[in-house]
Amino acid sequence: MNRLDRLTSILIQLQSKRLTTAREIASRFEVTNRTIYRDIQTLRLAGVPIGEEEGKGYFLVEGYRLPPVMFTMEEARALVTTSKILNYHTEDSLKQNYESALLKIKAVLPPDNKDKLEFLDSRIGFHKPWAPTSLYLDTIQRSITESEKLKIRYQSKKEEELTERTIHPYAVYFNGAVWTTIAFCELRQEIREFRLDRIQELNLQRTHFNPDRAFSIEHYLEERSKKIF
């Protein structure tokens, strides 16, 4: 990649997140941090309003945008989920091209929506290949990003009767057969797993919960695997 192409790509990457570190950019283009520092200075000299939060990263001053392209949050959430699937199950060139396109899409979103998508991206995990569609997946993803409670009618494996639960979804993952949400269950007063194919009815509530920011989907799945095997 020549320098002009890299500068253009850096600009797009800066617009895809609220804050981006030099290390993240350098890793993507396989160059040194010092090279990125020079590239940032070049963009600034060209009139691009790049700010910096010391120790946290670079950002584009609010108001500086690529030509507007409008995407709904439903579309954006679907694209983030697809990127996870492609990351696990497709060849490298397709993954790279999709990620490049996704950065351009994120670049035109408002800062608040960028943060929500980054948060959702950290809460989607996969165990095995391929993923069928789910009737409730998008609503649960919205619940995760907006911290809105869900009320469900659930058919558990051990109980014959349906139970009504109010849950606080933390994350979702795919195990090779079905989607599952990891959530705090108000009925049981603990974190439980709920298979989406066993949810008979789901309603988004207008009440919010406090998300557990310390929760890690990677750590949870790792510990889960240890218990199984």
All structural domains of the chain with their residue ranges: 3-60, 73-110, 126-228
Q: How far apart are CA 78 and CA 81, in angstroms?
A: 5
Q: Look up the pTM and report it.
A: 0.58
Q: Which tokens is 47 given?
A: 């009139």
CA-nearest of 77, 93, 191, 88 to 134 is 77
CB 217 within 8 A of CB 171: yes
Q: Does residue 92 or residue 46 have the better pLDDT?
A: 46
Does CATH place domain 126-228 in 2.30.30?
A: yes
CB 50 within 8 A of CB 60: yes
Q: Rounded to an integer, what is the distance from CA 85 to the centroid of its chain?
A: 12
Q: Does residue 133 or residue 41 have the better pLDDT?
A: 41
Residues 6+ apart with CB under 8 A from 105: 69, 71, 76, 79
Pairing of strands 190-195, 179-185: antiparallel
69-83 pLDDT per residue, tens: 567 788 788 888 888
Pairing of strands 124-126, 163-174: parallel
Banded model confidence at residue 134, pLDDT cuts 50, 70, 90: low
164-219 pLDDT per residue, tens: 999 999 999 988 778 899 999 999 999 999 999 899 999 999 899 999 989 999 99
User: What was the pLDDT predicted at 153?
Assistant: 95
Q: How far apart are CA 62 and CA 56, in angstroms?
A: 17
Half-sphere exposure of 157 (CA within 13 A, CB side): 5
Q: How far apart are CA 141 and CA 148, in angstroms?
A: 10
Fill in the amino acid letter for 88: Y
User: What was the pLDDT predicted at 70?
Assistant: 60
User: What was the pLDDT predicted at 89?
Assistant: 55
The neighbouring-strand residues paired with 193 are: 182
Q: What does DSSP assign to residue 195?
A: E
Q: How far apart are CA 175 and CA 194, in angstroms?
A: 12
44-70 pLDDT per residue, tens: 988 889 999 988 899 988 877 655 556
User: What was the pLDDT predicted at 131?
Assistant: 47
CATH number for region 3-60: 1.10.10.10
1-48 pLDDT per residue, tens: 678 778 888 888 888 888 999 999 999 898 999 999 999 999 998 888
